[in-house]
């Protein structure tokens, strides 16, 4: 074994997986996990923990894996994370824990994500559950949204003994884990549903089909239903469009719609009613993780897929692993390319997209080099489907119906990042609803901080 | 689960159901809609609320079979239940928030077409409950397709019925009656609310624009979540892109781009048709859908 290198993880062959929705990565088995664990040098001042938004005791759990004590390893992770099987799969480890790993200085960092995933999967297969609180506190807390922020906040509060109810607008709990991230990256029944069951096992109640701001309001929850504190983890759900001509043509979708049809409504399965456009030639506009998910979904539904992104490969915001997987599967990257118009046929259906070539100029406010148009470089791409993956913004449904809850100019709820406190007493918030579109793990970190904030608030009452 | 407390057939392929959903019944207003899902495999179907009973905690919906999911929905009986039922979604009709005294001075016309009679009903009922008599025109293809006539009679000031084939009421289209009331009888309406098939709303709007009657329409485009998340329901109103689910479903009809909206409604026509054929014909399906290749 080369100690400078990660134990490789087994994956489905690119050609095979490009035509199915089964999980791409198989994960480590016991032997591989224990071998990879020996690469951790158990730093006293572990940088990886600092890199983790929920501060998992990483060397602590890896030490247990090394010895084959997987249940103990799971309990170490559980102290900090409610969704380890999810995080092990979708966290951007390269810029967090693994990005700080000392091993990475001279070689590859320890494969922390894959180890976390192994431990969580092992615990699930062996039916190990986190322990519910021994003592109940008689305070009711409402959590709005059952995505990563809400589940984490609810789980943590339940472990402290609070009586927690989650309100979810959709018909299934999980938020972006259910409607956004596809099956091939995050299996729904095997992984997400089980993690949610674990949160329920802690005593958390989940009421689906309740749109806060419509069916009831935060003020009513607090004044009439006896909730003493509320956590808002409603995410950033509103899709952005480019505002270019032709964008309302048939065959132009937001990535949110495309993924929701496929993931939540299971349009890829024959026996489900919800339809999805199975394009032959699809362009996905954007370069983030969601763009990769949409592209790889369209590919699996049988299309030739192009990623159209206005900057270069270096600036792609998606995780390196996702870009790598997408390329392996045959996604075509049209970089330094920006759409200017969508072309439709007489029936209103997409027939192509006019694009312009870009080059990189001076760095902009984000520090990335600003793409500028190359004059006279316009060309047409022949297409039948366009998926816009340009990011999302928070839904105003809650902020506009809650007295005293302030938002900033991006319509994000204003909240203290240390404890989730908003401008309204007893109301806390975190995740994409506060930060705008970010990652699963950052939302979990915010949910965790807010659980602590709510505990302090209710304990002082 | 959301139990069905009443189910009846109103006309061929048109059904009415009362569904127990106390949270929705407590807060809904005329103009809003719900999303219903029959079972695990069903679609999320948006339906404008037809009536509500706050005390009983029930919502009344009316729907027509248009695809596989609504076909399955039509088999539900009293005592069965919807797996999912969410709402109230969208904004209430504007008049709900208008000053009542100003509203009472207005002459208001409602125009309902086909199954669109159902969403018009709670608005007319609301008017009646607030002491306002309004004129209502209901259009149907034929006598047998006319729905909620008795209910409407009870709440409308004047009720005018037309059928395309002349089998009942005045023969012809709703636009004919609008013309008659405005031009021949010289009634000046201050506002008009038109709900029905997209093509009907388009022609009503063309006419009321000529007549100078501000007109509200209720759109029912393709939707998935109904909370602003997917953008499937986007519609161009006055040159701006709006999401019907959160910005609507009611809009100024004179500003709606109906041609685009009608094209967008065709988006899944073939897919829906396929699902429908599969359901009706099952294993006996051997072509004709244009997709399976069975007839080649």
Interface test with A, best of B69, B84, B225, B273 (most A CBs within 10 A): B225
Interface of B with A in 15-74 (CB under 8 A): 23-24, 26-27, 37, 41-44, 67-69, 72
Q: In this structure, are strands A350-363 and B84-89 parallel, antiparallel, or unpaired?
A: unpaired
How many other C-beta atoms can be found within 10 angstroms of the C-beta atom of residue A127?
7
A211 contacts in B (CB within 8 Å)? 86-87, 89, 227
pLDDT for residue B292 is more than 50: no
Strands (DSSP E) along A71-162, which ranges?
A: 140-144
Distance of alpha carbon B91 from alpha carbon B94, whole angstroms: 8
B229·A238 Cβ contact <8 A: yes
Distance of alpha carbon B140 from alpha carbon B147, whole angstroms: 8
A237·B229 Cβ contact <8 A: yes
User: How far apart, in Å, are the Cα atoms of B293 and each of A69, A96, A153, B288, B290?
Assistant: 57, 52, 52, 8, 7
Q: What is the reported pLDDT for B270? A: 63
A275·B272 Cβ contact <8 A: yes
**Residues 6+ positions from B53 with CB-CB distance below 8 Å:** B18, B25, B60
User: How far apart, in Å, are the Cα atoms of B50 and each of B15, B117, B121, B154, B161?
Assistant: 12, 9, 6, 15, 19
**Closest CA of chain B from A278, distance in Å:** 10
* Contact status of A210 with chain B (Cβ, < 8 Å): yes
pLDDT for residue B116 is more than 60: yes
Distance of alpha carbon A50 from alpha carbon A55, whole angstroms: 6
Q: What is the reported pLDDT for A92? A: 87
A272 contacts in B (CB within 8 Å)? 41
How many residues comprise chain B? 296
Q: What is the reported pLDDT for A369? A: 85
Residue among A287, A298, A304, A299 at smallest CA distance from A389:
A287
Residue among B19, B22, B51, B48 at smallest CA distance from B35:
B48
A189 contacts in B (CB within 8 Å)? none
CB contacts < 8 A, A to B, total 115
Residue A91 structure tokens: 């966290």
B263 contacts in A (CB within 8 Å)? 250, 347-348
pLDDT for residue B288 is more than 50: no
A257 contacts in B (CB within 8 Å)? 224, 230-232
B83 contacts in A (CB within 8 Å)? 171
Q: What is the reported pLDDT for B67? A: 81
Q: Which member of A208, A254, A397 has the closest CB to residue B230?
A: A254
A257·B224 Cβ contact <8 A: yes
**Nearest residue of B to residue A271 by CA position?**
B41
B231·A239 Cβ contact <8 A: yes
Ranges under pLDDT 50 in chain A: none
Distance of alpha carbon B14 from alpha carbon B63, whole angstroms: 6
A239·B229 Cβ contact <8 A: yes
Element (H, E) at B152: helix B149-155
Q: Rounded to the nearest 10 degrees, what angle do helices A112-125 and A58-66 cross at?
A: 60
* Contact status of A400 with chain B (Cβ, < 8 Å): no
B67 contacts in A (CB within 8 Å)? 273
**Closest CA of chain B from A12, distance in Å:** 28
In this predicted model, what pLDDT tens digit does every residue of B49-92 receive, in sequence order?
A: 999 999 999 999 999 998 888 899 999 999 999 999 999 999 99
A145 contacts in B (CB within 8 Å)? none
Interface test with A, best of B231, B235, B291 (most A CBs within 10 A): B231
In this predicted model, what pLDDT tens digit does every residue of B30-47 receive, in sequence order?
A: 999 999 999 999 999 999
Distance of alpha carbon A105 from alpha carbon A94, whole angstroms: 13
Per-residue pLDDT band at B284 (split at 50, 70, 90):
low
B46: helix, strand or coil: strand
Interface test with B, best of A147, A172, A175, A209 (most B CBs within 10 A): A209
B23·A215 Cβ contact <8 A: yes
Q: What is the reported pLDDT for B85? A: 97
What does pLDDT average to over chain B?
A: 90
Q: What is the reported pLDDT for A393? A: 86
In this predicted model, what pLDDT tens digit does every residue of B221-275 receive, in sequence order?
A: 899 999 999 999 999 999 999 999 999 999 999 999 999 999 998 888 766 555 6
- Are A110 and A39 within 8 A, CB to CB? yes
Per-residue pLDDT band at B290 (split at 50, 70, 90):
very low
Distance of alpha carbon B42 from alpha carbon A332, whole angstroms: 34
A216 contacts in B (CB within 8 Å)? 23, 26-27
Q: Which member of A209, A257, A260 has the closest CB to residue B86?
A: A209
A348·B42 Cβ contact <8 A: no
B29 contacts in A (CB within 8 Å)? none
Chain CA centroid to CA A399, Å: 22
Q: What is the DSSP string of A434-452?
A: HHSS--HHHHHHHHHHHHH
Chain CA centroid to CA A28, Å: 22
Q: Which member of B86, B264, B271 has the closest CB to residue A275?
A: B271
B246·A397 Cβ contact <8 A: yes
B236·A248 Cβ contact <8 A: yes
* Contact status of A280 with chain B (Cβ, < 8 Å): no
A274·B37 Cβ contact <8 A: no
Q: What is the reported pLDDT for B295? A: 39
Residue percentage of chain A with pLDDT more than 90? 81
The predicted model scores a pTM of 0.90
Residue among A194, A274, A154 at smallest CA distance from B225:
A274
- Which spans in A269-400 are helix H? 289-300, 320-329, 396-399
A87: helix, strand or coil: helix
Distance of alpha carbon B204 from alpha carbon B178, whole angstroms: 8
- Are B8 and B188 within 8 A, CB to CB? no
Q: What is the reported pLDDT for B283? A: 54
B88 contacts in A (CB within 8 Å)? 214-215
- Are B197 and B205 within 8 A, CB to CB? no
Q: What is the reported pLDDT for B293? A: 43
A171 contacts in B (CB within 8 Å)? 37, 44, 83-84, 86
Distance of alpha carbon B220 from alpha carbon B202, whole angstroms: 13
pLDDT for residue B182 is more than 70: yes
* Contact status of B236 with chain A (Cβ, < 8 Å): yes
Backbone φ and ψ of B170, nearest 5°: -75, 130
A214·B271 Cβ contact <8 A: no
- Are A261 and A178 within 8 A, CB to CB? no
**Closest CA of chain B from A369, distance in Å:** 30
B264 contacts in A (CB within 8 Å)? 248, 250, 348
Per-residue pLDDT band at B282 (split at 50, 70, 90):
low
- Are A21 and A268 within 8 A, CB to CB? yes
A238·B230 Cβ contact <8 A: no
- Are B242 and B219 within 8 A, CB to CB? no
Q: What is the reported pLDDT for A376? A: 94
């Amino acid at each position: 074994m080369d100690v400078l290198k990660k134990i490789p993880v087994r994956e489905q062959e690119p050609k095979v997986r490009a035509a199915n929705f089964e999980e791409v990565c198989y994960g480590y088995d016991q032997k591989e996990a224990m071998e990879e664990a020996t690469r951790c040098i158990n730093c006293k001042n572990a940088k990886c923990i600092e890199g983790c938004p929920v501060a998992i005791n990483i060397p602590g759990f890896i030490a247990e894996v090394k010895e084959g004590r997987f249940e103990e390893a799971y309990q170490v992770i559980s102290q900090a994370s409610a969704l380890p099987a999810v995080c092990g799969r979708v966290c951007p480890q390269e810029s967090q824990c693994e990005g700080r790993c000392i091993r990475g200085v001279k070689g590859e960092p320890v494969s922390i994500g894959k180890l976390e995933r192994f431990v969580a999967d092992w615990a699930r297969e062996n039916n190990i559950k986190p322990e519910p609180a021994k003592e109940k506190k008689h305070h009711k807390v409402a959590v709005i949204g059952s995505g990563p922020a809400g589940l984490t906040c609810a789980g943590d509060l339940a472990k402290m003994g609070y009586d927690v109810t989650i309100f979810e607008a959709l018909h299934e709990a999980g938020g972006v884990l259910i409607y956004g991230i596809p099956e091939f990256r995050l299996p729904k029944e095997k992984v997400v549903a089980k993690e949610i069951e674990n949160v329920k096992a802690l005593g958390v109640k989940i009421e689906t089909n309740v749109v806060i701001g419509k069916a009831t309001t935060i003020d009513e929850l607090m004044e009439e239903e006896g909730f003493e504190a509320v956590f808002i983890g409603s995410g950033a759900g509103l899709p952005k469009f480019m505002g270019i001509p032709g964008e309302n043509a048939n065959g132009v979708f937001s990535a949110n719609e495309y993924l929701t049809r496929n993931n939540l409504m299971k349009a890829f399965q024959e026996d489900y009613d919800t339809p999805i456009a199975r394009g032959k030639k699809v362009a996905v506009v954007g370069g983030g993780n969601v763009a990769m998910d949409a592209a790889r979904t369209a590919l699996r539904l049988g299309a030739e897929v192009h990623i159209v992104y206005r900057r270069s490969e270096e600036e792609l915001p998606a995780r390196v692993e996702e870009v790598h997987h997408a390329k392996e599967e045959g996604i075509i990257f049209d970089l330094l390319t920006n759409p200017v118009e969508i072309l439709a046929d007489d029936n209103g259906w997409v027939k192509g997209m006019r694009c312009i070539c870009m080059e990189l100029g001076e760095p902009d406010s984000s520090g990335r080099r600003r793409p500028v148009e190359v004059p006279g470089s316009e060309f047409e791409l022949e297409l039948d489907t366009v998926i816009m993956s340009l990011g999302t913004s928070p839904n105003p449904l809650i902020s506009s119906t809650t007295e005293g809850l302030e938002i900033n100019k991006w319509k994000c709820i204003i909240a203290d990042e240390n404890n989730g406190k908003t401008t309204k007493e007893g109301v806390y918030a975190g995740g994409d609803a506060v930060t705008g579109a970010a990652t699963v793990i950052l939302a979990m970190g915010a949910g965790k901080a807010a659980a602590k904030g709510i505990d302090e608030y209710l304990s002082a009452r | 689960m959301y139990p069905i407390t009443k189910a009846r057939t109103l006309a061929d392929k048109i059904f009415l159901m009362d569904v127990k959903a106390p949270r929705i019944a407590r807060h809904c207003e005329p103009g809003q809609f719900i999303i219903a899902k029959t079972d695990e495999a069903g679609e999320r179907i948006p339906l404008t609320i037809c009536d509500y009973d706050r005390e009983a905690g029930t919502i009344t919906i009316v729907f027509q079979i248009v695809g596989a999911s609504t076909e399955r929905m039509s088999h539900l009986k009293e005592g069965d239940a919807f797996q999912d039922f969410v709402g109230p979604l969208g904004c209430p009709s504007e008049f709900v928030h208008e000053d009542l005294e100003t509203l009472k001075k207005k002459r208001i016309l409602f125009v309902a077409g086909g199954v669109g009679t159902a969403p018009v009903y709670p608005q007319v009922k609301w008017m009646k409950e607030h002491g306002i008599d309004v004129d209502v025109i209901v259009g149907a293809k034929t006598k047998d397709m006319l729905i909620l006539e008795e209910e409407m009679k009870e709440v409308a000031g004047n009720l005018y019925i037309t059928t395309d084939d002349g089998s009942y009421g005045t023969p012809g289209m709703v636009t004919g009656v609008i013309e008659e009331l405005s031009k021949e009888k010289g009634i000046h309406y201050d506002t008009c609310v038109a709900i029905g098939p997209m093509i009907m709303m388009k022609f009503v709007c063309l006419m009321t624009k000529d007549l100078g009657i501000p007109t509200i329409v209720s759109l029912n485009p393709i939707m998935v979540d109904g909370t602003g998340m997917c953008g499937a329901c986007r519609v161009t109103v006055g040159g701006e892109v709006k999401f019907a689910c959160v910005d609507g479903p009611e809009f100024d009809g004179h500003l709606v781009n109906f041609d685009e909206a009608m094209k967008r409604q065709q988006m899944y026509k073939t897919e829906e048709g396929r699902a429908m054929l599969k359901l009706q014909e099952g294993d006996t399906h051997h072509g004709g859908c244009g997709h399976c290749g069975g007839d080649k």
